[in-house]
Amino acid sequence: MSLVNKAAPDFEANAFVNGQIKKVRLSSYRGKWVVLFFYPADFTFVCPTEVEGFAEDYEKFKKKNTEVISVSADTVYVHQAWVQHDERVAKAKFPMVEDRKGTIARAYDVYNEETGNAQRGLFIINPDGIVKYVVITDDNVGRSTDETLRVLEALQSGGLCPVNWHEGEPTIKV
Exposure b/e, 24-35, CB count within 10 A at least 16 = b: bebeebeeebbb
Nearest to 47 by CA among 148, 139, 115, 144: 139
Contact between 79 and 52 under an 8 Å Cβ cutoff? The reply is no
Q: Half-sphere exposure of 142 toward its Cβ, with a 13 Å CA cutoff?
A: 15
Catalytic residue (choose from 13, 47, 89, 125): 47
Would residue 161 show up in a list of annotated catalytic residues for this protein? no
- The span from the CA of 48 to the CA of 39, in Å, is 10
- The span from the CA of 108 to the CA of 157, in Å, is 25
Exposure b/e, 109-120, CB count within 10 A at least 16 = b: ebbeeeeebbbb
Q: List the catalytic residues.
A: 47
